[in-house]
Structure 1
Amino acid sequence: MLAARAPGVAMQQQVMARWLAQQGLELAAMQPVGGGCIHRAWRLELRDGSQRFAKTNRAALLPVLEAEADGLNALRAAAQLEPTEAPLPLIPDPLDLAELEGEAVLLLSWLELGGGSQQGWLELGQGLAGLHRASLASSDGRFGWHQNNFIGSGPQDNSWRGSWAEFFSEQRLGVQLELAAAAGRALPEARALLEQVPHWLAAHEPEACLVHGDLWSGNAGLLIGGGSALFDPAVSRSDREVDLAMARLFGGFPAAFFEGYEQEWPLPAGHRQRVDLYNLYHLLNHANLFGGGYWQQSAASIQALLRQWS
């Protein structure tokens, strides 16, 4: 049960219990779990001994949870498109979504995280490669997504484009730089960067894979008993390299993860040079969301990219 010192939790548990009862589920206990920086997260223990995972936030953020559910469903569907020998990661099942007494709630299947073997990370890399490749079976070659969604809690523009260079320049970097300028934080050389990015990427013609889109180490993990999992996506049809680039940011994934991916589907020439360019998107997003040192990191990255690519 929840600790008595947590204000308001008893009432929330009652609300959750009533909602679950409508689905034929009987709540036994509800405990907060850590890990998220946007939503509150809960482990729900049911009378039958099974568990569920729930995310809650204020009702205004229901669209963020709706977009997450859409992304999870897309990844789960992609995993069924093409047979692969790679051990695909487990994607949690979005079971229900609702607004309950002023709060948005997303109910998910429970993942028992806690593994940590090098073999597990190798298989996660292989599985991500298999998922990327399988998703091509439903691709029409365009970059974007059927709806805009969110990167963290920031807006992500997924308007369809036929050119990856234009999509990344305008729908990714351009949007973030516009948000920065609107907040009074216009970055030096931002315009020069945007003018150059389409040229830098002109010769790079990736396939339009379904990507996780927010693949830092907090949004993936290994399962107790074996296997791996991906969660909290910000999906789009994009260059598969964006997932591999972000996996090197914010602490990064173990080397075995990248080895596994390369074994299953090697990346093309030049991919290491594109890492910092692709990760500028996430630095800018963090600057727009959280401020602080991310502004300096973003400005320094722009300057470094202009030097490296010139």
Structure 2
Amino acid sequence: MDEIPVAVEAVLGGTIDRLTPIPGGSICRVYHLERGGRSWCLKTRTGAPADFFLAERDGIDALGAGGEVRVPEVVDCGASHILLEWLPPAGHGPDDAEQLGRQLAGLHSRAVAGFGFARNNYCGLTPQDNTRHTDGHVFFARCRLGVQGRLAHDAGLLPPRDRRRLERLADNLRRWIPIQPPSLIHGDLWSGNIHFSAHGPTLIDPAAHHGWGEADLAMTRLFGAMAPPFYAAYNEVRPLEPGFDERAPLYNLYHLLNHLNLFGSGWLPRVHAVLDRYA
């Protein structure tokens, strides 16, 4: 079982009885570990940046600190792995969606200071610039759209004309996005990063930072929306400003650009669709 870092076996007190790959991850290898009747979840990536899993640990800790949402317990963390508690997957229904909506609204209602984060981290494998800002529009323009646009342009994935359109859009975010207080957000909240178990909904694989709460909500709709009770419950606890549907694609442009950088030119048409609409 060469996939298991020596440090993990040391933490667990001996050799693993069973190692079962969990399919679906595009960034990391994920395994179900069993030893002595107990279970854990192990994520590994060979050649990961030295702080990759440490950044994930810090994001998990930040999200879980207030108790509004459930996150997995971090058992161990190193340069090439993170070891988490095992939460057996379970079915879910409208009540679970409603519960998650209320929990996420609670998380976004937690008072935080400024935009950014205590450290830089990652969205997927892309470094995420969390330089502190007091202005959310400047933060999103520079540290989200600006960084992703530069990376894509430098890699030859975003043509110069499109980069100019992106810069124009970023300079005019106030036309569409109202002033909002900063919130601690998950940062990469698509359905694959929401895990349901007997304990209820759990948030995994964060790209945590202080941003706009609406950005999390928009991300839940990018690759297939959550069930309606999720949005109704969120809006009941933390009502959205009018016009959210109109501005949601602007928040998601960050993730579309990130997918362009991670997975290539096949994502450019979706980036174009947003640029055509707003720029």
Shorter-chain TM-score tier: over 0.9
Distance 1:199 1:19, change over 3 A: closer
Instruction: For 2:170 and 2:10, locate their aligned partners in 1 and report how far apart those are by CA, in whole Å.
Output: 53
Does structure 1 residue 238 correspond to structure 2 residue 221?
A: no
2:99 to 123, 135, 139: 123
Residue 233 (structure 1) shift: 0.3
CA contact (8 A) 2:116 2:132 kept: yes
| Correspondences of 1:154-303 after superposition (within 5 Å) | 154-187=126-159, 188-201=161-174, 204-223=178-197, 225=198, 227-303=200-276
Q: Which has the higher contact order (CA 8 A, sep 6+)?
A: 2
- Comparing 124-133 with 232-241, greater Cα deviation is found at 124-133
**Local SS of the residue matching 1:31:** strand
Runs of 4+ in 1 over 6 A off after TM superposition: none
**Local SS of the residue matching 2:273:** helix
**TM-score by structure 2 length?**
0.92
1:35 to 15, 24, 28: 24
Residue 75 of structure 1 aligns with which residue? 63
Name the % identity.
Answer: 36
> Gapped runs of 5+ residues in structure 1?
1-9, 80-87
Letter aligned with residue 149 of structure 2: L
Instruction: For 2:247 and 2:14, locate their aligned partners in 1 and report how far apart those are by CA, in whole Å.
Output: 48
Letter aligned with residue 106 of structure 1: I
Distance 1:179 1:12, change over 3 A: closer
Letter aligned with residue 215 of structure 1: L
CA contact (8 A) 1:115 1:226 kept: no
Aligned Cα RMSD in Å?
1.9
Instruction: For 1:195 and 1:72, locate their aligned partners in 2 and report how far apart those are by CA, in whole Å.
Output: 34
Instruction: For 1:35 and 1:303, locate their aligned partners in 2 and report how far apart those are by CA, in whole Å.
Output: 32
**Local SS of the residue matching 1:11:** coil
Letter aligned with residue 45 of structure 1: E
CA contact (8 A) 2:18 2:33 kept: yes
* Structure exhibiting the larger radius of gyration computed from Cα positions: 1
Does structure 1 residue 114 correspond to structure 2 residue 90?
A: yes
Instruction: For 2:83 and 2:267, locate their aligned partners in 1 and report how far apart those are by CA, in whole Å.
Output: 32
Residue 57 (structure 1) shift: 1.0
**Local SS of the residue matching 1:150:** strand
**Local SS of the residue matching 1:213:** coil
CA contact (8 A) 1:120 1:227 kept: yes
CA contact (8 A) 1:75 1:91 kept: yes
**TM-score by structure 1 length?**
0.83
Distance 1:27 1:168, change over 3 A: same
CA contact (8 A) 1:62 1:105 kept: no
**Local SS of the residue matching 1:55:** strand
Instruction: For 1:97 and 1:200, locate their aligned partners in 2 and report how far apart those are by CA, in whole Å.
Output: 38
Residue 60 (structure 1) shift: 3.4
Distance 1:11 1:192, change over 3 A: closer
**Local SS of the residue matching 2:78:** strand
